[in-house]
Amino acid sequence: MTEFIRKRAKNAKNDILSGATVALALVPEAVAFAFVAGVDPLVGLYAAFMIGLITSIFGGRPGMISGATGALAVVMVSLVAEGNAMGAPEDNLGLYYLFATVILMGLIQILAGVFKLGKFVRLIPHPVMMGFVNGLAIVIFLAQLKMFRGADGAYFAGSELWTMLGLVALTMGIMFVLPQIKLTKKLPEALIGILVVSAIVIFGKLDVATVGSFIRDGGGEGLKGGLPQFQTDIFSKVPFNWQTLKFIGPYAIILAAIGLIESLMTLNLVDELTETRGNANKECMAQGGANIITGLFGGMGGCAMIGQSIINIKGGGRGRLSGIVAAVLLLIFILFASEYIEQIPIAALVGVMFMVVVGTFAWSSFRILRKIPVTDAVVLIAVSLITVWKDLAVAVIAGVIISALVFSWENAKRIRARKRMKDDGTKIYEIWGPLFFGSIKAFNEKFDAKNDPQNVEVDFVESRVSDHSAIEAIYNLVHKYEAEGKSIKLKHLSEDCKVLLYKSSPKFREVIVEDIDDPRYHLAENPEAFTKGLSEYKL
């Protein structure tokens, strides 16, 4: 226990202060996402508390903040609406179907961690990552514009608008200036900005939108609540049968995928900011466990929050303690300090989020757009736009697919065949480049079975057989030559390629030449020996 406390007490001051800042920023976000999903604000706040606490303790990325998020909330809207339609309005079935879905979502995420699917985040190309953070910054910015609306849905105007803009600008100015003048390192600049602007509003008795008015305008009764309660009604109101699984299953899969993609992308981003390495599979399991607990205790589910994670990192929060403090303080706000938190002006929190936008956006992408390949630039821009148009998960998946297709296309063009004749009249085809589904057409076009001589050899020393399409192409090539009454032999196939071919058909044992006398083949088969030979070579 002492060792546990000692490890987590490192950087304690920064973690505690940064966690306090994050807790304040979590309140309007959690409330807003609850409204988006069509549930009570406390459902969003409880999710932020439980998910934030559990992932901070057990997650694979210290310093990362999790809670209720907009990416999940927009999917939950139709789930809650369809659930409500299954019963009387007073039954509130949509809420309980949401809890059941979040529990199933958590189970799927745990399975993703068990089967180590988190490692696939490494397949995300850098242009996708840059497009992701740019699109995210735009999404955060657009989300803050909603805070400039009144209870009637109309945007502020006149003195109300100018007051709001002035307070936002003051918050941003404080956060920008303090690090420059190095006035204090005791408190995060975001927390100082919130405290200063709140004091001006409270003591100046300014009539501006606050956290409390924001909740009431959205239909909530206030921030105050009790401890999360175990939702026994889930088991009585939601029938556990095949029909329920058919209804909540697709939602759970979509939510699990979005949650994991957003969490793992955030993990990668925090890794870059802190120059450390998180554990993706551990994070998958922590997110899953947190969602199961959240569903059982009345939360709307969630995942990593990029904006709050950046606030935490920029504020000096590096350890698990920062996330724990943020979650515990959020619960304290709900239990004991709701009347004080409700007095915080929305403008202060908007100013903090605008600074997050400035810090999140990859401004260097404008400079490098003309210097990187056109396809990478297209991917970067496409991911940014899709993030704004759809959501983060769709954008990342689309970016990876586009990048994969571009990679396949470029490699498909690299297949080459150098032709030469041996003294005995045998024609040699030396194949260069990867042989896979994308290069099959070009590969087939290299051969002329009708006009080739009686004996043909296909040399694969500079090529690799990658997939079933390649195996099928070679098989058809052999049959084409044999149908013409000609002999074809396959030479210099690597051991792994031969295993694939022998497994697919016994025919290949008749045409593959096992006796290798070409030193190039041995170097290709054993690159370690080649490297060693280079190191031992002396002029």
pLDDT, one tens digit per residue, over 384-402 is 998 888 777 788 888 889 9
- Say if domain 413-536 classifies as CATH 3.30.1330.10: no
In degrees, rounded to 5, the angle at the alpha carbon of residue 332 between the alpha carbons of residues 350 and 94 is: 75
Position 539 scores a pLDDT of 38
Distance CA 356, CA 314 (A): 9
In degrees, rounded to 5, the angle at the alpha carbon of residue 225 between the alpha carbons of residues 223 and 229 is: 140
Distance CA 127, CA 144 (A): 26
Tens digit of pLDDT for each residue in 137-169?
Answer: 888 788 788 888 887 778 888 899 999 999 999
C-beta contacts of 508-514 below 8 A and 24+ residues apart: 508/474, 508/475, 508/478, 511/478, 513/457, 513/489
Percent of the chain residues past pLDDT 70, beyond the cut:
92
Distance CA 131, CA 170 (A): 30
Residue 266 · residue 306 · CB < 8 Å: yes
Tens digit of pLDDT for each residue in 51-80?
Answer: 999 999 999 999 999 998 877 887 888 899
DSSP string, 169-217: HHHHHHHHHHHHHT--SSS-HHHHHHHHHHHHHHHTT----BHHHHHHH
Residue 44 · residue 68 · CB < 8 Å: yes
Which residue stretches of the chain have pLDDT < 50? 1, 521-524, 529-539
Position 67 scores a pLDDT of 93
- Here the tokens at position 467 are 């997939």
- Here the tokens at position 44 are 């969003």
Distance CA 216, CA 346 (A): 13
Residue 451 · residue 443 · CB < 8 Å: no
β partners of residue 67: 303
Distance CA 238, CA 74 (A): 22
Question: For the chain, which residues make up each domain, given as ranges?
Answer: 7-370, 413-536
Distance CA 202, CA 156 (A): 20
